[in-house]
Chains A and B, each alone.
Chain A
Amino acid sequence: MIKKKVYVYKGFERFWHWMQALLIFFLAFTGFEIHGSYTFFGYRDAVRYHNIAAYMFIVLIAFAIFWHFTTGEWRQYYPSFKNIAAQLNYYIFGIFKNAPHPTKKTVLSKLNPLQKLTYFGLKVVIIPTLVITGLLYMFYRYSNSGIIESLDISSLKLIATIHVIAAFFMVSFVITHIYLITTGEKVTTNLKAMLTGYEELEEPEDEANITLNTKLD
């Protein structure tokens, strides 16, 4: 089979990914300080930075949603249960026997079924939960300054607890994610692809040379 360098991750996609990574790390770090897990920036600055980063994250999400819908890339995350057993089987057994990846990565289908499912959950459950509870957290009892009178919630407890639960899942995701990117062809293959945008993929037989690899050669 022939392998060719293919432009998989577009410029915005990579910017979005790394910006998101940075913000999630920063939000988690400041967030758990606010949660009382440790002291680093000091409480007041931790809150201030967390809030600024949160707004940046929301802006980034708005751009990402726009990008996904205008490019049709959102379809990449549409979960499919096809091959899910094969993919699980690969991670549990195949990977130790140097078996090949069960699903082929192409420009039109970058994600394996497990990734699809995980990222779908992340984008539809975890991140919206964090954003919504985060906004409620921020605007909770703001009625004093007359901005949002109707958000008169009698206790922060539920909001904060859900925010923290989602945050723990996010941390768990990040750890798993960082580990699983090492399961490419080589340990650094996936990392390189997300940095440069290019990855060596098996040329799909029925697909014409729509990629940039000819230029590169």
Chain B
Amino acid sequence: MKKIILILAFLALLVVIAIGSLSEPDTEASALTKLKEKYSKKEKPLVDHSKFAILQQKFPSAQAATKACETCHNKAAEQVMASNHWNWEREEYVKGRGVIYLGKRNAINNFCIGTKGNEQSCAKCHIGYGMTSSGKVYTDSLNIDCLVCHDNTETYVKAPEKAGYPAATLNLNNIAQSVGKPKNSNCGVCHFYGGGGNNVKHGDLESALFDATKDLDVHMAVDGMNLQCIDCHTTTHHNISGKVYSLSSMSHNRNTCEQCHTSTPHDDEILNEHTLKVACQTCHIPTYAKANATKMYWDWSTAGRLKNGQPYSEEDSMGNHAYMSIKGSFIWQRNVTPDYLWFNGTASHYLEGDIIQDTTKPLILNPLHGSYADDESKIIPVKIHLAKQPFDPVNKILIIPKLFAEDKGEGAFWKDFDWQSAAKIGMEESHLPYSGKISFIKTEMLWPINHMVAPKENSLQCNSCHTRENSRLAGLNDFYMPGRDYSKIVEEGGIWIIIITLIGVFIHGSGRIYVRLKSGKGDKK
């Protein structure tokens, strides 16, 4: 009897321990719940701009509206004029190159190539008015376009090819009276259309995010948290955090998932360990360009074909331009699986006039630095945009062609379709040499993917990477990854040991069976 009681007591203790260790503590709200609480409280504005008389008077020009803004916000111009959005360049340090000033002003990409000489058209996405190639625009605070960022009516648009001025039909009074913190629509109107159309450049920033579902972007979903760009891209004194490495080199002022979610957001320790080497985006953005296609390839070499002397365009099956006389041939893709790279937050850049060392290989315009051995590096997803773009085979430098002009005969490619004159004038305006020879070189641009975060149910699973066949990380071979990697010698040797063991067992066993059968027969005789 005593024994039974003892055993029962022991079992009861075991059950208590098991329940205690297996059940998860649920008394404290999870970090995610707290975040959701914090961001669901929307701020109410302190002032109603429609009550201010200065914003009710008729504005004869866009600059007049700016002047009205600056009357009260008399330090804002100073801040704006120190920002990247205004200057289109920032101070960057690149290893091996030193301090450089890098931005849209002087960078070369493999989309529309460069802004030099094309300012009138490119300024559609500058937060200023009256941009010219002289650069005078950058010094006059009345040229600041306050409204493009602060309009809350969602009606403000800039006119195309008008050096950044707003469309003539707008009611600037209504807009000026509506101003508030920038919304997704303010940022999106430029950042979703970079490269000359929706989702051309980034792949993860596009107009579908204006009205996002949870499947498209779990943060920006209008039926979810409905986060605004500036909730993550926090801003102080008009200096907005976060940047993209097409134009950045240094690992500072970055936006990270960790700023809200910490570096150990999972319940599972093994998953938390991954954050040391794997960026959140790698698992949580399984595909990009989920709603509308993004441009993956741009071939300038086919540009300039005319039908009956007129430029034309062709569309692909998704309704995107497959060919345009002014730009060449394109390949678009939807639901794209990212490429993966090690990235430590620093990048270098091809800058105008740089000599291309090896013209036989594709030229990477913005190499992202990093490796497994580097403690700062993590695996990130990227979009790789390929292109064939004009270069000077004699001087071995990329050509910045003159693309835009008001009229024919000015030598702009988009009007005259002549590479020679476009290259000659473009290089002149950029103060670069031109040999008179033009050729096309393959280039790559790397675009880190940070948006379109999927609901957690749709994030990558272990075997998306930890697998021998079709591992997402098949291209990153500077480290050993369980499930994907193995030593060929050990694998073959191990299998042979098992085979030889089995053969030995088989031969030995058959021998014994044979002997037994034979001796059994012998007994019968």
- A residues near B (Cβ < 8 Å) are 34-36, 39, 42-44, 47-48, 91, 95-98, 141-142, 144-145, 154-157, 160-161, 164-165, 167-169, 171-172, 175-176, 179, 182-183
B482 touches A34 (CB 8 A): yes
Residues from chain A with a CB closer than 8 A to the CB of B479 are 155-157
A132-B144 Cα distance, complex, nearest whole Å? 66
How close is B516's CB to chain A, nearest CB, in angstroms? Answer: 9
Tell me which of A141, A160, A168 contacts B482 (CB under 8 A): A160
Interface centre among A39, A44, A167 (most CB of B within 10 A): A44
- B residues near A (Cβ < 8 Å) are 263-264, 269-270, 272-273, 275-277, 373, 461-463, 466-468, 479-487, 490-491, 493-495, 497-498, 501-502, 504-505, 508-509, 511-512, 515, 519
B494 touches A168 (CB 8 A): yes
Residues from chain B with a CB closer than 8 A to the CB of A164 are 486-487, 490-491, 494
A161 and B487 contact, Cβ closer than 8 Å, known pairs A145-B264, A168-B493: yes
A35-B487 Cα distance, complex, nearest whole Å? 11
A66-B272 Cα distance, complex, nearest whole Å? 36
Residues from chain B with a CB closer than 8 A to the CB of A97 are 515
A156 and B373 contact, Cβ closer than 8 Å, known pairs A96-B515, A161-B490: no
Q: Residue on A with the closest CB to B274?
A: A144
How close is A114's CB to chain B, nearest CB, in angstroms? Answer: 14
A144-B481 Cα distance, complex, nearest whole Å? 18
Residues from chain A with a CB closer than 8 A to the CB of B463 are 39, 42-43
A144 touches B484 (CB 8 A): no
A160 and B501 contact, Cβ closer than 8 Å, known pairs A36-B466, A43-B463: no
Given contacts A160-B485, A171-B498, 19 further A-B contacts (CB under 8 A): A34-B466, A34-B483, A35-B486, A36-B484, A42-B462, A42-B463, A43-B463, A47-B270, A96-B511, A141-B277, A144-B263, A144-B276, A145-B273, A155-B480, A160-B480, A160-B482, A164-B487, A172-B497, A182-B509
How close is A117's CB to chain B, nearest CB, in angstroms? Answer: 17
A5-B427 Cα distance, complex, nearest whole Å? 101
A176 and B505 contact, Cβ closer than 8 Å, known pairs A34-B483, A96-B515, A144-B275: yes
3 nearest CB pairs, A to B: A168-B494, A43-B462, A157-B480
Q: Residue on B with the closest CB to A176?
A: B501
30 CB < 8 A contacts A-B: A34-B483, A36-B468, A36-B483, A42-B461, A42-B463, A43-B462, A144-B263, A144-B276, A145-B264, A145-B269, A154-B373, A155-B480, A156-B481, A157-B479, A157-B480, A161-B487, A164-B486, A164-B487, A165-B493, A165-B494, A167-B494, A168-B490, A168-B495, A168-B498, A172-B498, A175-B501, A175-B505, A176-B501, A179-B505, A179-B509
How close is A79's CB to chain B, nearest CB, in angstroms? Answer: 21
Residues from chain B with a CB closer than 8 A to the CB of A168 are 490, 493-495, 497-498
A98-B523 Cα distance, complex, nearest whole Å? 14
Residues from chain B with a CB closer than 8 A to the CB of A42 are 461-463
Residues from chain A with a CB closer than 8 A to the CB of B501 are 172, 175-176
B497 touches A36 (CB 8 A): no
Q: Residue on A with the closest CB to B463?
A: A43
Q: Residue on B with the closest CB to A47?
A: B270
A164-B462 Cα distance, complex, nearest whole Å? 20
Residues from chain B with a CB closer than 8 A to the CB of A157 are 479-480, 485
Q: Residue on B with the closest CB to A155?
A: B480
How close is A165's CB to chain B, nearest CB, in angstroms? Answer: 5
A91-B269 Cα distance, complex, nearest whole Å? 50
A47 touches B273 (CB 8 A): no
Residues from chain A with a CB closer than 8 A to the CB of B269 are 145
Residues from chain B with a CB closer than 8 A to the CB of A142 are 273
B483 touches A144 (CB 8 A): no
A161-B494 Cα distance, complex, nearest whole Å? 11
Residues from chain B with a CB closer than 8 A to the CB of A171 are 494, 498
A144 touches B273 (CB 8 A): yes
B498 touches A175 (CB 8 A): yes
Q: Residue on A with the closest CB to B478?
A: A155
Residues from chain A with a CB closer than 8 A to the CB of B466 are 34, 36, 43
A93-B464 Cα distance, complex, nearest whole Å? 52
How close is A92's CB to chain B, nearest CB, in angstroms? Answer: 9
How close is A52's CB to chain B, nearest CB, in angstroms? Answer: 12
